Amino acid sequence: MWARRASAISSPESNADPIGPSGLSLTGERVSDPLTKEEIRGLVAGYAQAAADAKRLGFDAVEIHGAHGYLIDQFFWENTNKRDDEYGGDIVGRTRFGVEVIEAVRAAVGPDFPIIFRFSQWKPVDYNAKLAPTPEALERFLAPLSAAGVDIFHCSTRRFWEPEFEGSDLNLAGWTKQLTGKPTITVGSVGLDSEFTSLFAEGKGADNVGLDALVERLARGEFDLVAVGRALLNDPSWASKIREDRAGELRAFTREALGSLS
C-alpha cells in the first residue's frame, strides 16, 4: 500500500518509513515526513522509466494504478494529502501528481501506446468514501487526468451493478465515459451476488448473477470493457462460456472454491 524511500530499496532490511504526500496513513496517523518536491520528481521519473521498459519488453499497454489508497490515490484523497503547495488543495489541485505521472509516461512511450488509468472512489479503510460526491465533482477530477494523456479509464468499484450517484443507473464506468468521452473498464464482483469478502464469509454460491444485465449494459455502450478477476480464476473458461451463451455451465463459487483463491 505504501511506497518507501530510496534507502529501503537499497537496503531491504532497513526500517525506512513509508512515503506519502503528507506522511499520513489512510487513517490520518503521521507515519513519516511529507515527500519533498525533489522526491516527487524522482517518483514521476520512475513511473516514466517503468512504462518505457514495459514498451521495450513488448507489452501492449500500461496501466497506472491510481486507486485503493496507493501512492497516486493518496495524493487524490484529502485525508492523506494535506499539502499547501501545488500538489495539494482542492480536488483539481490534488490531481497534479497523477497528471505529471501520466504526462511523463506519455512522453516516454509515445503518442500511440495505450495508457490505462485505474482509479476508485472507495478506500480500504472506508468502503463508502466518495472522492467525488457528485457528477460535477467527478468531471472536475477527471478532466485534467484525461487531458494529460489517458486513453482508457479503469473504474474500480466493489459492485459493478450499483449506481454511482442518485438519479441515474450509470455506474462509475458509465459516468466516467459520459463525462470524458474516453473508453472505460468496469469491474467489481463480476459473477457474484455480493462482494468477494462477504461471499467468502457467508459461503454462498454464485454462478450466474447479474451477467445478463452486465452483457446488456456492455452492448448498449455504458462501458467498453469488463475486468474479471476471481470469477476467471474460479473458472478459466468463464469468458468463453459467456461469449457462447453457456452461462448455465459456469462453475459455481463455493466455500471450497473460494478458499483455493484466498
* pTM confidence score: 0.86
Write the DSSP assignment of 114-183 as a string of letters. Answer: -EEEEEES-BTTBTT--SSSSHHHHHHHHHHHHHHT-SEEEEE-S-TTS-SSTT----HHHHHHHHH---
Q: For 157, left (φ over 0), alpha (ψ -120 to 50), or beta?
A: beta
Half-sphere exposure of 200 (CA within 13 A, CB side): 12
Contact of 131 with 91, CB cutoff 8 Å? yes
For the chain, first and last CA: distance in Å?
18
And the C-alpha cell for 177? Answer: 465515459
Strand partners for 66: 119
And the C-alpha cell for 229? Answer: 478477476
In the prediction, which pLDDT does 254 show? 64
In the prediction, which pLDDT does 193 show? 57
> Could you list the mean pLDDT of each consecutive 10-residue stretch along the chain, which spans 262 residues?
42 60 88 95 98 98 96 95 97 98 98 98 87 97 98 94 94 98 93 54 49 88 92 87 86 63 52
In the prediction, which pLDDT does 9 show? 34
In the prediction, which pLDDT does 123 show? 86
Q: Domains (ranges, CATH) in the chain?
A: 62-188 (3.20.20.70)
Contact of 253 with 233, CB cutoff 8 Å? no
In the prediction, which pLDDT does 208 show? 47
For residue 95, the Cα-to-chain-centroid distance in whole angstroms is 14
Is position 70 annotated as part of the catalytic site? yes
Q: How many CB atoms lie within 10 A of CB 220?
A: 9
Q: What distance in Å separates the CA atoms of residue 154 and residue 118, rounded to the nearest whole number?
A: 4
Catalytic choice (47, 70, 87, 127) = 70
